Amino acid sequence: MTFSTPPLARSTVDRAAHLRTDAAWLAAARVDPRSRVLLVRDGSVATSGGDGGPGDPWAEPDGEVRLAVLDPVSAGLGEDDWLFLGLDAGDVPWFARRLPAVAQTPLTGVASDRLVHLPVPEPAATDGLSWTSLRSIGAVLDAHDAGLATSAVALDHWHTRHPRCPRCGAATQVTAGGWTRLCEQDRSEHYPRTDPAVIMTVTDAAGRLLLGRAAAWPERRFSTLAGFVEAGESLEGAVRREVAEETGVLVSDVVYAGSQPWPFPNSLMLGFHARAVSTRLTPDGAELAEARWFSHDELAEQVRAGAVVPPGRTSIARALIEDWFDGPLPVPAR
């Protein structure tokens, strides 16, 4: 089994970390008409050529959706609302402008990360642009744009959620081009947080794949098992624990496959393959509503029939499943 790199792990951007502390260079680059700016807000990026639309952040975008790319003036880049993302192959500086998250109304009865985006006043140049969730657009962006958008969304989430010093509670200042926050009270520096989570294929002796449906998900959506790494735990230990806790299956031969940033809001998904040494399924009913073993033919047939909805193409879960499947999953018949 070989692992194909999932969409958000394909960045080709030079992060140029040595320039983050070069205040003179950053000040010049921020007004350089050659510089390029993308717009980020609450897990979404501004896009053109299609409508991300409200509602399901997993929905695949319509039409030829592209990342909206602006110059610093059109983007309305201000004094303190920007992030330095790096340099592209032509030494062009890339920035993101952070737009404030608007008041949002959770849809009744759905998970808290499925929110309705309300219209918000934006720079004039964004007329005709849409906000599209990185989750839905990730799989259609090229490696260059996916890398920029992923860093922008990850940093934006961190700033929004960590405005204060965790030591003394004072408000902190953004420094290093958006990559550090500094507490002026106790001089402590704070860096973007990333929480490791493991995600895994589990196969039995017959080559069948174990998939589950989380209790919070709609009927028919199935994916690989996953969970956060606990304090003081190894990655391999987390894989064994999560599979056992959620399904009752014991696994061995835990092998690393690859990773993908998942900034919703700040996870790093670490993918593994594992071999089941028991097959009896006892889903916990709390986190996991259903667990099933699928042969290649069963999964193909059920996806084609719409009886099983696989994870979106942006996710590492999809990449792991398609590696086991040895190719793209079939498209549901309409």
User: 249 exposed, middle or buried (CB, 10 Å; 0-12, 13-18, 19+)?
Assistant: buried
The Cβ of residue 332 has, within 10 Å, a number of other Cβ atoms equal to 14
185 binds Zn ion (CB under 5 A): yes
Which residue, chain included where needed, has tokens 């989430």?
Answer: 157
Interface residue with Zn ion among 40, 155, 183, 238 (CB under 5 A) is: 183
User: 220 exposed, middle or buried (CB, 10 Å; 0-12, 13-18, 19+)?
Assistant: middle
186 binds Zn ion (CB under 5 A): yes
Interface residue with Zn ion among 31, 92, 168, 277 (CB under 5 A) is: 168
Q: Residue 165 corresponds to which tokens in the numbers above?
A: 């010093």
78-109: buried (b, 16+ CB within 10 Å) or exposed (e) per residue? Answer: eeebbbbbbbbeeeebbbbbbbebeeeeeeee
Using an 8 Å Cβ cutoff, are 333 and 304 in contact? yes
Q: Residue 128 corresponds to which tokens in the numbers above?
A: 């005709």
Interface with Zn ion (CB under 5 A), residue total 7
7: left (phi over 0), alpha (psi -120 to 50) or beta: alpha
252 binds Zn ion (CB under 5 A): no
Cβ proximity to Zn ion, 104 vs 185, nearer residue: 185
Stretch that binds Zn ion, among 4-12, 107-115, 184-192, 227-235 (CB under 5 A): 184-192
Cβ proximity to Zn ion, 184 vs 230, nearer residue: 184
Shortest distance in whole angstroms from residue 59 CB to Zn ion: 41
Taking the CA atoms of 21, 24, 30 and 32 in sequence, report the sign of the dihedral they define: negative
Cβ proximity to Zn ion, 135 vs 181, nearer residue: 181
Cβ proximity to Zn ion, 111 vs 168, nearer residue: 168
Which residue, chain included where needed, has tokens 């959506």?
Answer: 221
Cβ proximity to Zn ion, 62 vs 184, nearer residue: 184
Shortest distance in whole angstroms from residue 94 CB to Zn ion: 31
Cβ proximity to Zn ion, 148 vs 183, nearer residue: 183
Q: Residue 286 corresponds to which tokens in the numbers above?
A: 């709390």
Cβ proximity to Zn ion, 84 vs 158, nearer residue: 158
Stretch that binds Zn ion, among 33-41, 182-190, 277-285, 294-302 (CB under 5 A): 182-190
Shortest distance in whole angstroms from residue 81 CB to Zn ion: 23
Stretch that binds Zn ion, among 50-58, 110-118, 157-165, 289-297 (CB under 5 A): 157-165
167 binds Zn ion (CB under 5 A): yes
Q: What are phi and psi of 306, to 5 degrees?
A: 80, 10
Shortest distance in whole angstroms from residue 181 CB to Zn ion: 10
Instruction: Find how far residue 122's CA is from the centre of its chain.
Output: 24
Q: Residue 161 corresponds to which tokens in the numbers above?
A: 């959620």
Shortest distance in whole angstroms from residue 182 CB to Zn ion: 9
What residues make contact with Zn ion under the rule CB under 5 A?
Answer: 165, 167-168, 170, 183, 185-186
